Structure 1
Amino acid sequence: MKLTGFYGQTVKRFLHLEHEPVSLITRSLRNAEIAVTETRDDAPVPRSSGEMGLQDAYVVSLKLNDYPNCEIWERGNTIKTDIRAGATYVYDMKKDPRFFINKPFHSLHFYLPRSSLDGIAEQSAAPRVAELPSQLGVGHDDPVIRHIGGALLQALRRPAETNQLFIDYMMLAFTTHAAQAYGGLRWGVKVSRGGLAPWQLKRAYEKLDADLGGTLSLQQLAAEFGLSVSYFSRAFRASTGLPPHQWLLRQRVKAAMQLMTLRDLPLSEIAIAVGFANQSHFTKVFSAQVGVSPAIWRRGSSGSGESEN
C-alpha cells in the first residue's frame, strides 16, 4: 500500500471536510515529509471518520476545543473519553485509529513519520528512538507542544507571510521535542555550545542576504557546510543570538530602511522588494522590531512629512 501523509487531501477525506486544509511541510530530516495541519468543522455530519491505511508514522494532535464523550477505536478496541482543549494526544498510524464524528472539532495535527524520528536520532548520534506511547484516549499536558502549535497556527492562517526557514526551524523543534519527551531520545554526544566558524558565518550571511524572499530551506543552508540541520541551527543561533528565520526578518527590515532612505518608493513596493508578502506584513514586522511603523520611521529619518502610502 502506498503511504500517504496525514495532511492535505488525506486529512480532508479522513475527516470529511468540505475544503482541503492548509498544511505546512518540511523535509529537513532524511527528506521525510513532516507536516502540520489545522482542522476544524463547527457543524459536522454525524458519521465515522474515514480510513487512513496503515502507516509507519504518528499523528501528534493538539486539541483546540473540548470534545466530550468522544468515541475512539483502533484494532477492535473502543473507548469513550472526554477530550480536553489544550491536551496533546499521540496516535500510532500502524494501529489505524478512527473516531466517531458527531460534535464540532478543532485540532492541530502534526504528521510525524518514523523516518523523521530515525533522522533526528542519527543527527544526535543517539540510539534509535523508541515507539511513541499511544495509549488510546490518554492525553498529555505538554506546554512545549502548545507553544509550538500557537506559533504555527499563525503561520497556517497567513501562509503567504511565512518563510520556509521558519517552518523548518519550528518543525525541527517539534520533532526533537517529540523524540525526547515521548520516545526517550538521549543525545549520544555532548551538544556543542560553539558557533559557526567565521568563514561559515560569512557564507551563511551571504546566502541569506541573497534570498530575502525566504525560499531557501534550512536543509539547503546546512548542506552548504556539510552539517546536519540540527547542528547548523544550534550553531547559527550560538553565533548570532537568533535562529535563521529571525535573522532573515532583521535583514529584511535593514534592507527596507536603506530603500526608504535612498529612494522615494511607495511602502507597498518596498515591502515586496525586500521579501515581505505585502505592506501589512511589512508594517507588522517592522513595527515589532523598530518600535514605530515604517511611515513614521521614514518621516523621522527624512523630515519630509510624507504620508503613508
Structure 2
Amino acid sequence: MRAFVKSRDVHVAVRPPLTPSGHRSIGLKCLANSDERRSGAKHLGPSRCDVDGRGQRWVNTHIRLSKWQVAMACSSTSPKRHGMTRTGAYGDRLRAFLRLEEVPPTLMTRSLRNAEIAVTETRNDNPVPGLSGSFAAEDAYLVSLKLRDYPECEIWEQGRHLTKADVHAGTTYLYDLKADPRYVIDKPFHSLHFYVPRPALDGLADQSGARRIDALDCSPVGHDDAIVRHIGASLREGLRRPDEVNQLFVDHMMLALTAHVAQTYGGFRHKAEASRGALAPWQVARACDKLEADLGGKVPLQAIAAELGLSVSHFSRAFRAATGLPPYRWLLHHRVRTAKRLLSERGPSLSDVAITAGFANQSHFTRVFSAIAGVSPGAWRRDALGKAAYEG
C-alpha cells in the first residue's frame, strides 16, 4: 500500500489482493473503519484503477482521516526495519511506545524458566499529543496498574478503534501484546506496567504440575484489584531506590504477581507438589548458608531453589513454612543481626557497619534497622555499649 499524507486529506493507493481465481480484485479496504461516524474517516472522491509502469494495477482513492488515524496511517505504512525484532514490553521499549524522553525505571526477574518478568513505572505530566507507538507482536501480556485518572482513554487494537472510557487511578487493565494494543496520548499519565510473557505463565504451571492456562482475560475493563495495588506499592519503593532493593525481594514480588494474575484472570489452579510442608533441617541450613554468603541479596531465588532441587514457587512456600519469613525478609533480619554484632563494638562507624552488613548506604541501613529493631542504629549502639560498660 502507498499512502501520501497531507494534513488529514490522504491519497491512498492500494494494490488489490488476489481473488480465488488468481485475478486482482478492485475492492478497497480503507485504513479507517467502515463505520465513518465512529472512525471519523470520510470518503472524499471516486476510486479509479491505474496501471503502473510494471503493469501492476492499483486502486486510487481519497479519504479524510481523524488526526489519530493520520498517525496510525503513517506508522502502518512506514517501511519495516530489517533484522530481529526486539520483544519485551518494558524499559526502553516502553519509553519508545509512550514517546518518553528518558528510559523509565525498571526491575526484572528471571525466576520462572528464565523468562524475563519486569515492572516499569511510566509517567509524563506534559505529553505530546498523538497515538502511542506499537510493540512487536508476541505471546505476552502487559498488566497495567493506573496511578492517575485518565478521562476518555481511547484504546486501539489490531489497527481498529476498540473503546473509549474513563480510566480511574487504582484500577488494573490487561493487554494482550498479540493484539497490538495502542492508545491515544492526549493527557498526563502515570502507570505501573508488569510485563508477563507466556513462558513465565507456562513455567508457573509446569512447576506445580498444573494445567497450563489458555489465555488471560484482556477485556477492556478496569479491575479493582487490591493485590496488584499492594504488589505495585511495594515495588515502587524499589523503583525509586534501585540501589537498595535486593534481588530476592524482586523475585518474590514478581512471582506473587504472576501467580495472582494467572489465577485471577486465567483460571490457573495451583496443584500442590508431592513434597508438602516445610523444608528439612539440612535444606534450611543450606539455604541460609547461601543467603548469609551474599548479604547484598544479589543471588536470585532460582539459584537457591536449584541448589535444593526444588522449583522456585515450592522453595518460597517451604522456606516460609520453616522459618516464618520469606527469603527476602529473612535476609533483612539477618542483616540487622549482623549489624547488631558490629554495633556492639566501638570501632566501626555507622556507615562502615551499613556497608559490611549488606546495606546500600547509611540511610538505607537506618530505615531497615529502625523498622525491625524499633530504634535507630545509633540509639541501639548507645544502649548496648552503656550496658556493657555498666556490667563491666
* TM-score bin (small chain): over 0.9
Q: TM-score, normalised by structure 2?
A: 0.76
Aligned residue number for residue 104 of structure 1:
188
For 1:289 and 1:78, the matched residues in 2 are separated by 49
Match of 1:132, SS state, is coil
Amino acid at match of 2:336: V
Q: Distance in 1 between matches of 2:199 and 2:85?
A: 15
**Superposition deviation, residue 247 in structure 1:** 0.3
How far off its partner does 1:135 sit?
Answer: 1.4
For 1:241 and 1:192, the matched residues in 2 are separated by: 18
2:269 aligned to which of 166, 182, 186: 186
Give the structure 1 partner of residue 320 of structure 2: 237
- Contact kept, 8 Å, 1:3 with 1:55, in 2: the verdict is no
Matched, 1:41 2:124: yes
CA distance in structure 2 between the partners assigned to 1:55 and 1:294 by the alignment: 49
Aligned residue for 1:117, secondary structure, equals helix
Counterparts of 1:189 and 1:260 in 2: how far apart (Å)?
A: 44
* Matched residue, 2:111: 28
Structure 2 residue runs without a partner (length 5+): 1-83, 388-392
Q: Which amino acid aligns with 1:175?
A: T
> Is 1:254 paired with 2:317?
no
1:89 aligned residue? 173
Q: Note the C-alpha offset of 1:210.
A: 0.8
SS of match in other structure, 2:164: strand
Q: Distance in 1 between matches of 2:141 and 2:86?
A: 13
Match of 2:365 in 1: 282
Task: State how 1:1-309 maps to structure 2 within 5 Å.
Answer: 2-75=85-158, 76-136=160-220, 138-189=221-272, 194-303=277-386
**Aligned-residue offset at 1:193:** 5.1
User: Could you say what secondary structure the match of 1:160 adopts?
Assistant: coil
User: CA-to-partner distance for each residue in 1:221-276, whole Å, 9 max, x for gaps?
Assistant: 00001100000000000000000000000000011111111341110111011110
- 3-state SS, counterpart of residue 121 of structure 2: strand
Change in 2 beyond 3 A, CA 1:182/1:100: same
Give the whole-Å Cα distance in 2 for the aligned partners of 1:66 and 1:199.
Answer: 51
Amino acid at match of 2:178: K
- Residue deviations 1:43-88, cap 9 Å, x none? 0010110111211100000000100011111022332110011000
Given that 2:208 and 2:273 are in contact with CA atoms closer than 8 Å, whether structure 1 keeps it comes out as: no
Mapped to 2, the partners of 1:119 and 1:212 lie a distance apart of 28
Q: Is the 8 A contact 1:168 1:218 kept in 2?
A: yes
Aligned-residue CA RMSD (Å): 1.3
One-letter identity of the residue aligned with 2:354: A
Higher RCO, Cα 8 Å, sep 6+: 1
Q: Could you tell me how far 1:21 is from its partner in structure 2?
A: 0.6
CA distance in 2, matches of 1:150, 1:187: 25
- Give SS of 1:139's match: coil
Q: Cα deviations across residues 138-170 of structure 1 (Å, max 9, x unaligned)?
A: 111111101101101111101111000000000
Structure 2: distance between partners of 1:247 and 1:256: 14
The CA distance in 2 between the partners of 1:294 and 1:277, in whole Å, is: 15
Q: Following the alignment from structure 2 to structure 1, what is the Cα–Cα distance between the partners of residues 288 and 175? A: 40
Q: Is the 8 A contact 1:72 1:78 kept in 2?
A: yes
Percent identity of paired positions between Structure 1 and Structure 2: 61
Letter in 1 for 2:232: G
Give 1:205 shift.
1.0
Say if 1:27 and 1:33, in contact at 8 Å, map to a contact too: yes
Contact 1:193 1:238 in 2 (8 A): no
CA contact (8 A) 1:56 1:113 kept: yes
Deviation digits for residues 152-193 of structure 1 (CA, Å, limit 9, x no counterpart): 111110111100000000000000001100110112346865
Tell me how many residue pairs correspond in the alignment. 303
| Counterparts of 1:190 and 1:235, CA distance in 2 | 11
TM-score (norm 1): 0.96
Query: Structure 2: how far apart are the matches of 1:166 and 1:77?
Result: 39
- Partner SS state of residue 266, structure 2: coil
Change (3 A) 1:131 1:124: same
**Higher Cα Rg, which structure:** 2
- Larger relative helix fraction: 1
